[in-house]
Copies of this chain bind each other. A is one copy, B any other.
Amino acid sequence: MRVTIADVARAAAVSKTTVSRVLNAKDEVDVATGARVREVIARLGYVPSSRAVGLARGSSRTIGMLVPTLTWPWIGEVVQGVVDTVEDAGYGILLYTCNRGNESVRHFTSQVSARAFDGILVVEPENTLDTFTALHHRGLPIVLIDDRGHHPEFPSVATTNREGGASAARHLLATGRDRPLVITGPPHFGCVQDRLDGFRSVLPAGLIVKGDFTEECGRRAVEELLATATPFDSVFAHNDLSAAGALRAVRAAGLSVPEDIAVVGFDDIPMALHTEPALTTVRQPMRAMGEAAAGMLLAHLGGTPAPEEPVVLPTELVARGSAP
């Protein structure tokens, strides 16, 4: 059967207390005793039961992470950053998605109540703010990885969405474009407002079409504008997917990118390299966001107070063929 601390204690002729001391590197153990215990541990291949340790200590060295879905192109990067950071610290990560909507969120919060983890990382809690506010007030350590960045009551990590929008505008302006079409994301997202504000602070855009982050919306926006012969010389889309749709529609209409119309996206997902031409875009450091968020949560669990201000990571304009 499974090797327990009692087996080790017996084989080393000490008490469980002493084995526990060795395990947890308390320095009050005799050197020779310690060595003997360690030898037995190695020989028996003993590994403490995480459940028992967790129960006794009241914490689990596990964090929970909730994401909307794993199938969006940039989520994997964020989670990878989290997993790497968390592994370094010897923590585990329990993963949940909102794929089933409220059902999933309920499942997740019941795990919170079950104390399955010590703290949580949450990406984009659409319509679930109340839930997380309540958990936060109950004292659950939580860090938001938040595209919307407008919840000052939580520790969070975000990117410079406003500056990212501004950099897109500056880039277009510098290359002689001044009649842009802006295709936004869902308007209730804070990040969408920020990108738009930043862009307009540099380049007042007359043409603004409400989008929803899908390729479809990008394509349709361009098709409709071209159909009405509204003049524009460039597109700034609020994510790469809709930028790709716009780009495709421009070319399908017989116009060329970037000569007739330049296109700039946001995110820099892998696909951005594979459109024709490759997509100029505002890169968000997805993996770094995951690392930063996990680092903040772990620090908090380790006793460091959470930072007052959101951590904001820089975006970067990456110029490629669609807007050189």
Contact = CB atoms under 8 A, between A and B. Distances in A.
Interface in A27-52: 45, 47-52
A118 B71 CA distance: 26
Given A271-B270, A274-B275, A76 B83 contact: no
A69 interface: yes
B114 A49 contact: yes
Nearest to A79: B70
A224 interface: no
Interface string A86-108: 01000011111101100010010
Given A55-B52, A114-B49, A244-B274, A107 B87 contact: yes
A116 interface: yes
A159 interface: no
Contacts of A110: 47
A136 interface: no
A80 B87 contact: no
Interface size class of A (residues with CB under 8 A): 35 or more
B71 A60 contact: no
Contacts of A274: 244, 271, 274-275
Interface string A290-320: 0000000000000000000000000000000
Nearest to A272: B274
Contacts of A83: 70, 95-97, 99
A48 B114 contact: yes
A113 B84 CA distance: 21
Interface in A109-142: 110-111, 113-116
Contacts of A173: none
Contacts of A84: 97, 99-100
A62 B94 contact: yes
A242 to B, nearest CB: 13
A75 interface: yes
A236 B45 CA distance: 48
Interface string A257-296: 0000000000000110011100000000000000000000
Contacts of A147: none
A94 to B, nearest CB: 5
Given A244-B274, A275-B276, A70 B80 contact: yes
Given A69-B80, A274-B275, 17 more contacts: A47-B110, A48-B114, A49-B55, A49-B114, A50-B115, A50-B116, A51-B51, A51-B60, A51-B116, A52-B55, A72-B76, A73-B270, A79-B95, A80-B99, A84-B97, A92-B111, A271-B271
Interface of A: 2, 45, 47-52, 54-55, 60, 62, 69-73, 75-77, 79-80, 83-84, 87, 92-97, 99-100, 104, 107, 110-111, 113-116, 244, 270-271, 274-276
Which 5 residue pairs spanning A and B have beta carbons closest together? A276-B276, A47-B113, A50-B114, A70-B76, A70-B80
10 contacts: A47-B110, A51-B115, A51-B116, A55-B55, A70-B80, A73-B73, A80-B99, A87-B104, A92-B94, A92-B111
